[in-house]
Amino acid sequence: MTAADLLLRAQSLRAQRTPFVLATVVRAQKPTSAKAGDRALVLPDGTLDGFVGGTCAESTVRMEGLRLLTTGESTLLRITPSPASDEDGVVTVTNPCLSGGALDIFMEAMIPATLLYVFGDAPVARALARVGEAAGYDMVATTDPAQAVPADAGAVVVASHGRDEEAVLAAAVRAGVPYVALVASRKRGAAVLADAGLTADQVRTPAGLDIGARSAPDVAVSILAEIIGTRTRVAPAPAQLAPPVASALDPVCGMAVAVSASSLQAEHDGRTWYFCGTGCRDAFVDDPGRYGA
């Protein structure tokens, strides 16, 4: 995969709202097969597209990339063949499989922005679409009640002045959206929830914080503030983040290896063993008993 192909692949993943980590070699100390500027993408399933070194380096990059997908952070990864002292802002991993050189790799987590789904064409709906976009949210604004609520929506706000409210609210609740709200008066909102068989624990109404909002833009700001506050209190990790990655120790060299379909592995005595590289896997397959299997 060429550098241009890799960047096109990254653009496609962003368009699909698929989280990934962009790994870029920023320093390569000989002897290593990687060079400064080499790049790879780490996907949530452990797939690694591109090149950042041999299989042992790839194993370390995969493991760190999957970890970053659970936090949304970025970091500088240093892979060395011998123990090295830690530095602020650097994750140092000792990889005994390296051929003698060292690698510094910048690992940049690319996590989709929170998706805010707004249903309706009321002034508040239009204002919320503008405010949300300015705040960096991915916005979906629609007046079509049949349009599916995206599976990774972080918030759904209904502001349609009584049109198709129940169906959209119910769909958002069924989808498990963390924040679902209805723009309505307290009295009318309670009646809508009762008709839809929903509760105040599932749908917030009136939508937004009580900040004395009067105009549609004011209400939009109050709703966005409530979304931010709810996300901070209830769901500090965005829904787009991956679940924590499981790891296993390579029985040959003792390195931590990601447990994923893309990791090198071998079956023995009804158990799956994971390896940092082909050398360790081949050594294990030749004599499993030597490594405690």
Query: What is the per-residue pLDDT across 90-123, written as a single tens digit (0 to 9) for each?
Result: 888 887 766 667 899 999 999 998 899 999 999 9
pTM of this prediction exceeds 0.85: no
pLDDT of residue 6: 92
pLDDT tier for residue 256 given thresholds of 50, 70 and 90: confident
Using 50, 70 and 90 to split pLDDT, how confident is the model at 241? low
Top-confidence residue, 203 or 34 = 203
The pLDDT assigned to 93 comes to: 85
CA-nearest of 241, 243, 244, 245 to 111 is 241
Instruction: Give the pairing type, strands 48-50 and 39-42.
Output: antiparallel
Q: What is the pLDDT of residue 98?
A: 61
pLDDT (0 to 100) of residue 234:
41
The two counts, helices (H) then strands (E), for the chain are: 7, 14
Q: Which amino acid is at 177?
A: V
With tokens 């706000």, the residue in question is: 157
Residues 28-82 pLDDT 10s: 988 788 899 999 999 998 899 999 988 888 889 999 999 999 888 999 999 888 7
Which stretches of 16-153 are DSSP H helices?
Answer: 55-71, 123-134
What is the structure's pLDDT at 99? Answer: 65
How much is the pLDDT for 65?
A: 94
Q: For residue 220, name the pLDDT band (cuts at 50, 70, 90).
A: very high
Tokens of 162: 């009584």
For residues 113 and 130, what is the distance between their CA atoms, to the nearest angstrom?
15
Q: Report the chain's mean pLDDT, rounded to a whole number.
A: 89
Measure the CA–CA gap between 49 and 22, rounded to whole angstroms. Answer: 10
- Rounded distance, CA 110 to CA 4, Å? 18
Reported as a pLDDT band with limits 50, 70 and 90, residue 133 is very high
pLDDT of residue 243: 67
pLDDT, tens digit (0-9, with 9 covering 90-100), for 227-238: 998 875 444 345
- Look at residues 87, 69, 86, 70 and name the one whose alpha carbon lies nearest to residue 23: 69
Please say whether the beta carbons of 70 and 241 come within 8 A.
yes
- The pLDDT value recorded for residue 236 is 37
Give me 126's structure tokens: 């239009």
Q: Domain 115-234 is of which CATH architecture?
A: 3-Layer(aba) Sandwich (3.40)
The number of residues in the chain equals 293
Spatial CB neighbours of 26, under 8 Å, sequence gap ≥ 6? 36, 76, 104, 105, 106
More confident residue, 85 or 277: 277
**CATH 3.40.50.720 location in the chain:** 115-234
- Beta pairing partners, 266: 273
Predicted confidence at residue 257, as pLDDT, reads 85
